[in-house]
Amino acid sequence: MAAHLQREIENLKKEILTIGAMAEQSVRQATQAIEDRDEYLAKAVIEKDVNLDHKEVEVEESCLKILALHQPVAIDLRFIIAVLKINSDLERVGDLAVNIAERAVFLANQPEVNIEFDFTTMAAKTQEMLKKSLDALVNLNAGLAREVCASDDEIDAMNRRMFQIIQDAINAYPDQVDALIHLLSASRHLERIADHATNIAEDVIYMIEGEIVRHRAEEYQPKVRR
């Protein structure tokens, strides 16, 4: 029975990494669509989101099956609980990538807006957080997970900066309000993706150490699942 459980857990690890790769690709392509004003790439992200949704259901069913058949304990139980939560976060990341892609579709058909904010840098930092959180899961690396948590403040600050820039730009370019609001929305979606990466990192720490680290102000700012 123990050997069979371990095989099931290894298969589950492969499944969660598959949905992680799908979510990473969606974010990467959605942000690229914004940067390149690529309507076709943006629409491809939107269309394939159904695949990620189906995979999320499969992973959840796998978790519930293992819980019912094997009644795991200790680190095996923590792993399955963490995967259930991470699975949900990754599905939300996919949804947020779709939201960014929808902004990209709109912006691709509008005059280009020139503002000081570096969307490319914010997107790259957010993607790095997501990648690190999944690497921490693969390598059971609590230290790497804590790096992700510590990085979130920078993304929050960039999003606040974006809000101020858009506010000023609306006053300066009132004829471009719609495009500016869509850019602000894309920034906000990136900030939320970073939050989900932080959630994943927190769950990795729980899985490895058996300790719930949410709301530990001395380590990093608390995150709320949204």
In a 13 Å sphere around the CA of 172, the CA atoms on its Cβ side amount to: 11
Cα separation, 121 vs 124, in Å, equals 5
Nearest to 30 by CA among 103, 117, 106: 103
Which residues, in sequence order, are CB contacts of 9 under 8 Å at separation 6+?
66, 72, 76, 79, 80
Please identify which residue in the block is written with the tokens 């991470």: 86
Domain boundaries, the chain: 2-209
Q: What tens digit of pLDDT does each residue of 24-76 get?
A: 999 999 999 999 999 999 999 999 999 999 999 999 999 999 999 888 888 88
Q: What tens digit of pLDDT does each residue of 121-149 get?
A: 999 999 999 999 999 998 899 999 999 99
Q: What tens digit of pLDDT does each residue of 156-203 get?
A: 999 999 999 999 999 888 889 999 999 999 999 999 999 999 999 999
Does the domain spanning 2-209 belong to CATH 1.20.58.220? yes
φ, ψ for residue 214, nearest 5 deg: -65, 150
Q: What tens digit of pLDDT does each residue of 80-98 get?
A: 999 999 999 999 999 999 9
Task: Quote the pTM value.
Answer: 0.91
